[in-house]
Copies of this chain bind each other. A is one copy, B any other.
């Protein structure tokens, strides 16, 4: 069905099935509905430890089969791609095993728990010659893609500043239970790696490579209930909030902030970039709009333009609905998966690849070291 007639297909095996499993499944389904890619994904198998749950989710999400051991999924001949939507501490093992089995690999972010892990993962996929990608999806919002285009065309000139935030508020209630995202051994870092890594990716995509950083963080609520109505408490072992200054190789200055204690900011993923000739602003909470300022507009008419990036001239949007009709969060993943399919078609890993994931990890590591050493730390090159 659906544009598959006479087309090459890739059979996807997904490890994990919660929030991100749903997002990825929806994205695979959307690719052939909205786009005419050369390679088309098939939801072939899904793995999870709880058989009842994974069986039910296979049915809802549309997978043909399921496994209760991810290693079994990787062994199967009818799987071409391994998609990793597990907690962070499992990314490396799965990705390396998948690469060694010759599967293309796509992983949720952050790529790894440490730069060492990330390095091993990149080595594995490169050695295996498989296509690899890491899911920094916000790059693929049409408004962000359009920002990239403007920057590449030199429309705002050399970049001087980026200020970027990913600020949320879902941990404000001290009774919100401990989740895996708050435990160091499962997640690596807290806000830094989870949402900080997203704005690092946006900055790398739009501004360039980081040179050095200095940061701070805080653990605001130190203990949380182990479950919804539990009276037993567990330790929070990662940062609740993190901010850092950065210098980029091209000289730009950056100010970054990630927190889950910014009341009223549900998904406050925002940036403003100032260049020699103009500025660009974006906010995920109103994600179809981009604000753009040009210094060479007629003086009396200078001001930020609010552009609804849903027109035929904007990236990706002509695949969806007519101008002015909003798309949402999930479409960033459909667009990402279109790139992944194109990568499989051409054999060239699309950006953000595992290399991007590793570079991101180097920034995360430098921020963490700067916090511990209380001074500026250079970001390692690849």
Q: Which residues of A contact B (CB under 8 A)?
A: 1-3, 5, 19, 23, 25-26, 29, 32-33, 59-62, 146, 156, 160-161, 163, 165, 167-170, 172-173, 214-216, 218, 220, 241, 243-245, 247, 251, 253, 255, 257, 259, 261-268, 272, 274-279, 284-289, 292-295, 297, 299-308, 310-314, 320-331, 374-376
Task: Work out how many copies of this chain go into the complex.
Answer: 4
The interface residues of chain A, by DSSP majority, are classed as mixed
Selected from B1, B263, B278, the residue in CB contact (under 8 A) with A62 is B1
Selected from B23, B302, B308, B374, the residue in CB contact (under 8 A) with A303 is B308
Which residues of B lie under 8 Å from residue A26 when comparing CB positions? 33
Assess whether A259 is in contact with B243, with CB atoms less than 8 Å apart.
Answer: no
A251 to B, closest residue via Cβ: B218
Selected from B218, B327, B331, the residue in CB contact (under 8 A) with A253 is B218
Assess whether B3 is in contact with A60, with CB atoms less than 8 Å apart.
Answer: yes
- Interchain Cβ contacts under 8 Å between A and B, 5 examples: A161-B262, A170-B322, A268-B324, A285-B326, A302-B311
Which residues of B lie under 8 Å from residue A253 when comparing CB positions? 216, 218, 241, 243
- A335 CB to closest chain B CB (Å) equals 13
A26-B33, A285-B326, A327-B328 known; A311 and B266 CB under 8 Å?
A: yes
Selected from B170, B294, B374, the residue in CB contact (under 8 A) with A376 is B374
Assess whether B160 is in contact with A264, with CB atoms less than 8 Å apart.
Answer: no
Separation of A272 and B245 alpha carbons in the complex (Å): 18
Question: Nearest 3 A-B pairs (CB), nearest first?
Answer: A266-B324, A267-B324, A264-B293
Assess whether B255 is in contact with A257, with CB atoms less than 8 Å apart.
Answer: yes
Assess whether A293 is in contact with B215, with CB atoms less than 8 Å apart.
Answer: no
Assess whether A305 is in contact with B301, with CB atoms less than 8 Å apart.
Answer: yes
Which residues of B lie under 8 Å from residue A241 when comparing CB positions? 160-161, 253
Selected from B214, B262, B302, the residue in CB contact (under 8 A) with A245 is B214
Separation of A32 and B61 alpha carbons in the complex (Å): 9
Separation of A186 and B320 alpha carbons in the complex (Å): 26
Which residues of B lie under 8 Å from residue A163 when comparing CB positions? 165, 257
Separation of A59 and B216 alpha carbons in the complex (Å): 54
Assess whether B302 is in contact with A304, with CB atoms less than 8 Å apart.
Answer: no
Assess whether B284 is in contact with A264, with CB atoms less than 8 Å apart.
Answer: no
Separation of A163 and B242 alpha carbons in the complex (Å): 12
Assess whether A303 is in contact with B300, with CB atoms less than 8 Å apart.
Answer: no
Assess whether A261 is in contact with B274, with CB atoms less than 8 Å apart.
Answer: yes
Separation of A148 and B268 alpha carbons in the complex (Å): 24
Q: Knowing that A215-B245, A262-B274 touch, tell me 4 more A-B residue pairs with CB under 8 angstroms.
A: A29-B29, A264-B278, A266-B311, A320-B330
